[in-house]
Structure 1
Amino acid sequence: MDDMLPRCLLAIAGPTATGKTGLSLALAERLSIAILSADSRLVYRELDIGTAKPSQTERSQAPHYLIDIREPTETMTVAEYQRSAQTLIQQLHLEQERVPCLVGGTGLYISSVVDGLQIPPVAPQPELRSQLQRLGQPQCYSMLQQVDPVASDRIHANDAVRTIRALEVAYVTGRPLSAQQGQHPPDYPILYIGLDCEIEALAARIRRRTAQMIEQGLVAEVEQLCQRYGKDLPLLQTLGYAEILGYLAGNYSLPAAEELIVKNTRQFAKRQRTWFRKQAIAWFDADSVDLLEDVWQTIKTFWAQVNQAKTSAPKP
């Protein structure tokens, strides 16, 4: 299959802990791919264990991009991610040595590329964000419902990051975020693959991975981040880190923190599932013994269709 690498894109998405990284690495043994991370936290250095970041050994199995490209104190906007991903995809298409493969669970990151989202060019406003954060999420979400009801329907009531971003765009530009968004899908073929499994099976996967993170030293990782950047580092308020921060503050025991991570991760996975189920995705059972072969056959069929369309296209 590598003799004629088509100008296309593969995307592997789905809820957390469904084995997206493992599948991408298994595919890398059969196909020349370059893995482009589509995870909003993998872009940050030093956040390794709590984000389930691919190890150096795993990254040596195939070229990985969009990992460790920001300091923990910096901000990576969706627009910046989109530009970086689009540039990499263009370069890979020109080189024709590897097929770009988006892999991750951040739906907005993937959609920014796959759907070609139009993203308002509004830089982060630290002072405005600080003011909004002090108001609290319930009040901010209520404000969003008044300022941009369309956006509020798309944003979960507990999603503080997206709520504040929508308010930020509205206040800076004077126009609702929803009115500034549109889509310009790329002109190359895309195979969008999704991994999922039964709810209880996913819960077991999340529990195993959480225990593994604790064993690998998640507590020490959080302690180091606190020492270097302070407890107010925004990334320490995210899933897996906030719960350990609470343990270090003496609010509860480590086993209780572990249970909180499991609970909150399950809720996060539920939101991811809701997001991805709205997309045009070819779904596969993450627990199927034939997963790799089934995905491989789908890729080969897609590949044949792409090459056929290319050869049958009229000459300019």
Structure 2
Amino acid sequence: MDSPDVVFIVGPTGTGKTEAALNLRHSSSIEIINADSRQVYKWLSIGTAKPTLQQQSLVPHHLFDIIEPDGSFSIAQFLEIAREKITEILSRNITPVVVGGTGQYLWGLIEGWQIPAIPPNKTLRKNYEFFVNENGSEALYKKLLSIDPGARAIIDSSNTRRIIRALEVWEHTGVPFSTLRKQAPPSYRFQISGININRLDLYKRINDRLISMVENGWVAEIESLLSYGYTTKLPSFSSAGYREIASYIQGITTYEEALEKTKAATHRLVRAQDNWFKKSDSRIAWSENIEELCKRVNLKK
């Protein structure tokens, strides 16, 4: 097989994607592009498992820490910036390695989605947020599906932010969100890789990692965010664990309750990510561990 121009390392949180990407630097000149919708935020580092500064010093990293915690960042913005960065890296004869678990980001690049850049409508969002508070996210999801049945395949019923965004796009264009994903596949060769870990084993690994995150200062990270006036209503705080631990900091729950809720939220994230990256998808080369993945990626020398 010819060497890919671009490598994508995909899959659920906790499977070792970052380490695998960094290991590829021993085989070729690479630069890493983030495809995690939470790692784009500044100051959300420990809980999002963002590469450490030491790791980022090993090879150039892109699309990390580009948005303030109270900022908004759409898939259209991501695709525009990521495509420009891929083109720029390729122009220097270096291999871009795109790493993350956000399905819309990754498949948007791989399948060449063409999504219109529609600005956020704050009034409309507030109205839908009020609707959710009164009726629940499932009711809003049913409203979306009544307009856009195809959204079921690309938006999870528990992802209120994405449901609202799809409705926002429909309100702006009059066209269902799912039909706006026109495709113009990229011209470069690519390889998609992932690490296949048994779900129960992954849950245990994640639970152990959460303890390590707390020991490494995750609670202090969230305390700092709250002290600067960032609230738990922000999209950035929808990252698994941030609202749960903020509730502990604010005295609403105990530490034990916050930790259990964080575990549950992260397990839900794994299940949602598994739906984006199915083991039956023949486009993805699944490996059992990091070493096997790195051997199977045929990078140019």
Judge same fold: TM > 0.5, yes or no: yes
Taking structure 1 as reference, are residues 182 and 192 closer, same or farther at Cα in structure 2, changes over 3 Å only?
same
Give the corresponding residue for 2:181. Answer: 181
Q: Which has the larger radius of gyration?
A: 1
SS at match of 1:121: coil
Q: Which amino acid aligns with 2:108?
A: S
What's 1:155 paired with? 155
1:154, distance to aligned residue in structure 2 (A): 3.1
Unaligned runs of 5+ in 2: none
| Deviation, structure 1 residue 94 | 1.1
SS in 2 for 1:187: coil
Amino acid in the other structure paired with 1:57: Q
> Would you say the 8 A contact 1:45–1:70 is kept in 2?
yes
Residue pairs, 1:202-217, within 5 angstroms: 202-217=202-217
- Who is 2:276 aligned against? 275
How many residues of Structure 1 are paired with residues of Structure 2 in the alignment?
293
2:293 matched to which residue of 1? 295
Counterpart of 1:55 in structure 2: which amino acid? T
Which position in structure 2 is the counterpart of 1:253? 254
Aligned to 1:244: 245
- Which residue identity does 1:191 align to in structure 2? Q
Q: Distance in 2 between matches of 1:126 and 1:172?
A: 13
- Once residues 297 and 157 of structure 1 are traced to their aligned partners in structure 2, the CA distance between those partners, rounded to angstroms, is 38
The answer on 1:99 being equivalent to 2:92 is no
Are the counterparts in 2 of residues 193 and 283 from structure 1 also a CA contact under 8 Å?
Answer: yes
Matched, 1:25 2:25: no
Give the equivalent residue in structure 1 for 2:118: 122
CA displacement at 1:138 relative to structure 2: 2.4
User: Aligned equivalents of 2:177 and 2:223: distance in 1?
Assistant: 37
> CA contact under 8 A between 2:121 and 2:168: conserved in structure 1?
yes
- TM-superposed CA distance for 1:153, in Å, is 4.2
Deviations 1:8-56 (A, max 9, x none): 1000011100000011111112221100011101111111111111111
Residue 120 of structure 1: how far off its partner (Å): 2.4
Q: What fraction of aligned residue pairs are identical, expressed as a percent?
A: 35
2:209 aligned partner, one-letter code: R
Does the aligned pair in 1 maintain the 2:42–2:65 contact within 8 Å? yes
Per-residue displacement from partner, 1:211-249 (whole Å, max 9, x unpaired)? Answer: 011111111111111111342333223311011012123
Q: Which amino acid aligns with 1:100?
A: P
* Distance apart, 1:255 and its partner CA: 2.0
Q: Secondary structure at the match of 2:117?
A: coil
| Aligned Cα root-mean-square deviation (Å) | 1.8
Separation (CA, whole Å) in 1 of partners of 2:56 and 2:293: 21
CA shift, 1:90, in A, is: 0.7
Q: Structure 1 residue 7: deviation in Å?
A: 6.9
Greater alpha carbon shift after TM alignment, 220-229 vs 276-285: 276-285
For residues 75 and 241 of structure 1, the distance between their equivalents in structure 2, rounded to whole angstroms, comes to: 17
State the partner residue of 1:314.
Answer: none
Q: Out of 61-70 and 171-180, give the one that drifted further.
A: 171-180
Change (3 A) 1:152 1:200: closer
The structural deviation recorded for 1:258 is 1.2
Moved over 6 A (4+): none
Higher relative contact order (CA 8 A, sep 6+): 2
Counterpart of 1:64 in structure 2 is: 61
| Paired residues of 2:70 and 2:230 also in contact (CA < 8 A) | no
Instruction: Please report the TM-score for the alignment, with normalisation by the length of structure 2.
Output: 0.92
Tell me the TM-score normalised to structure 1 length: 0.88
